A = this chain, B = another copy of it.
C-alpha cells in the first residue's frame, strides 16, 4: 500500500504496530491541483444524488479559476436537472449535459450514479469513455459486480476511486465550514485499479483534496467495497437503527414515557456518546461514568459484544461472498414497482420526543460494544487501520449521527445510497432481534466480563488518538 506523489507530501504514520501512508489535505494545497490533475481539462460528474451534488459543488469551488471545468451529466429526462441548474450547472454554458455526452467529452469521469444504475448501464458508459480517460468511482460496488460477473474494466483507461467516509450532505457542509476552519471535511480513502499513463495516484489525491478530505489514505477497491458495505449495514446505519429501536421498546415496556424512552435509547447515542467519541475517543465514554452507571455500561457492553460481533461477521461473509450485492441488484429491480418501505414509521419515531435530558449508560454500553465489534471484524479481515476507524467510528460520529440527532433515522439512512438504504432495512431488524433475544437475557444475568477487559486494552484507542487530530475539531451542525 506504499505510494509516492510528485505533487503532494506523503507522510508515514504508525498505527497499532502497522505503517500507513497518508496525505493531508487543506485549502493551501488547492493551488497545486492543476499540476496534479495534469491532462485533465474537464471533469464530468455523472449523477446528482447526495454524493454527485456534493462532489460537483466542492470540485467546482476548489478548481475555480484554474481552467478545469466541472460538468454534470444526467440521464435524459432526469428529475434532478432543475436542482443542478439551481446550483449553477447550466446546459447553456455546457456545464450540464446528457450523461453519455459528458462521459465522452471529459478527461476524468466521476461515476456517481446509484449502484443499481452503474450495474444497469455500465456497458453504455464504458463505451462512451474516450481512450486514455480516467474513470473515477466513489465506491467499490461496481468492481464487486464486475468480479461477480467475471468481467473486467475496459482497456486503455485508468480507473481510480476516491471514497469519502461520510454522506454527501456532510461532505458539502464540512467543506463549506472549511472556508473558516482550514482542513475541515470528510476523510477519504483512495484506490487505483488501472493506471494507463502513470498519473493515477496524483489524480486521485487531487480529487480527494479538492473535495475537502482532511486526510487521504490508500486502500484497494475490494477492501473499500467490503468495509463500506459492511459498515453501513452494521454500526453506521443498520446497526444503530436496530439498536435504538430495540432499546426504545425495552425502556417503554419498563414504564418509560415516549420522550423518556427516546432520550434514553437514541439521544444518548447521538448526543453525549457520539460527541464524546468524536472529541475524546471510545474509552472516554466509559471513563466518564462511575459507580452504578459504569456498572450498567459494563454489563451492557459485556452482553452485547459477542452477539454484535457474530452479526457483523455474518454481514462480512455475505458481502465478501457477493451475496449482498446480488441481493441489492434483485431489490433494485423490485424497487421499480415497490417503493422502499419507510424506516421511520415505528412508535419511536412517530412518538413524542420532548427533551427530557435523560441519558442511559446501558445504551452507551450496547452502542460502543457494537462499534468495537465492527472494528474487530474489519481488523480480523486485514483492513488498514485508517479504513477501520473511519468506516466504524469517525463516519458515525462526525457525519451520520448528527443527521439522526437533528431529524430522525430516515433523514440519516435515506440520504445515503440505495445500497445503504436497502442494507439498513435488511440488517437493522437483525440487530434489534439480537438485542431482544440474546443481549437482554445475558445482561439481566451476570455476563462474562472478558469483552470489557479487552475493550480497556484495545489498540483502537491509540489509533483514534493518532488519527483524530488529523481533522480539525469542527462540529457538524445540521
- Tell me which residues across on chain B come within 8 A of A438, comparing CB atoms: 341-342, 345
Please indicate the chain B residues that have their CB under 8 angstroms from the CB of A434 in the complex.
341
Binds B, one of A172-180, A191-199, A317-325: A317-325
Q: Distance (Å) between the CB of A443 and the closest chain B CB?
A: 11
Cross-chain contact of A441 among B310, B334, B350 (Cβ < 8 A)? B350
Among the listed stretches A19-27, A49-57, A206-214, A245-253, which one makes contact with chain B, having 4 or more residues with CB under 8 Å of it?
Answer: A245-253
Cβ contacts A412-445/B at 8 Å (1 or 0 each): 0000000000000110111011101110110000
Q: Which residue of B lies closest to A241 (CB)?
A: B433
Distance between Cα atoms of A64 and B344 in the complex (Å): 61
The answer to whether A105 has its CB under 8 Å from any CB of chain B is no
Question: Are A440 and B323 in contact (CB-based, < 8 A)?
Answer: no
Interface flag for A122 (CB, 8 Å): no
- Separation in Å of the A453 CB from the closest CB of chain B? 21
- Residues of A285-342 at the interface with B, using a CB-CB cut-off of 8 Å, are 307, 310, 313-314, 317-318, 321, 323, 326-327, 330-331, 334, 338, 341-342
Q: Are A345 and B437 touching (Cβ within 8 A)?
A: yes
**A253-B249, A314-B334, A317-B334 known; A437 vs B327 contact (CB < 8 Å):** no
Docked-complex contact A330 and B318, CB < 8 angstroms: yes
Distance between Cα atoms of A245 and B249 in the complex (Å):
12
- Docked-complex contact B313 and A338, CB < 8 angstroms: yes
A346 within 8 A of B: yes
Q: Among the interface residues A313, A346, A425, which one has the most CB atoms of the partner chain B within 10 A?
A: A346
- Residues of chain B contacted by A441 (CB below 8 angstroms): 345, 350
- Chain B residue nearest to A437 (CB atoms) is B345
A104 in the interface, Cβ–Cβ < 8 Å?
no
Of B307, B323, B429, the contact of A432 (CB 8 Å cutoff): B429
Given that A330-B318, A346-B437, A430-B429 are known contacts, is A310 also in contact with B341, CB under 8 Å in the complex?
yes
CB of A139 to closest CB in B, whole Å: 21
CB of A463 within 8 A of chain B? no
> Is A343 close to B, CB under 8 A?
yes
> In whole angstroms, what is the CA distance A347 to B432 when docked?
13
A327, closest chain B residue (CB):
B323
In angstroms, how far is the closest chain B Cβ from the Cβ of A432?
6
List residues of chain B with CB within 8 A of the CB of A326. 321, 323
CB-defined contacts of A330 to chain B, threshold 8 Å: 314, 317-318, 321, 323
Q: Are A347 and B253 in contact (CB under 8 A)?
A: yes
Complex Cα–Cα for A345 and B441 (A): 6
Report Cα–Cα, A76/B253, bound state, in Å: 50
Q: Which residues of A226-246 are within 8 A (CB) of B? A: 245
List 21 A–B pairs whose Cβ atoms lie within 8 Å, in order of A's numbering: A245-B433, A249-B249, A253-B253, A307-B341, A313-B334, A313-B338, A317-B330, A318-B327, A321-B326, A323-B323, A323-B327, A323-B330, A341-B434, A342-B437, A345-B440, A345-B441, A347-B440, A350-B441, A429-B429, A429-B432, A432-B432
Q: Across chains A and B, which 4 residue pairs bring their CB atoms closest together, nearest first?
A: A429-B429, A429-B433, A345-B437, A345-B441
Q: Which residues on A are within 8 Å of B, measured CB to CB?
A: 245, 249, 252-253, 307, 310, 313-314, 317-318, 321, 323, 326-327, 330-331, 334, 338, 341-347, 350, 425-426, 428-430, 432-434, 436-438, 440-441
User: What 5 new A-B contacts, CB under 8 Å, besides A426-B430, A432-B432?
Assistant: A249-B249, A321-B330, A323-B323, A323-B327, A345-B441
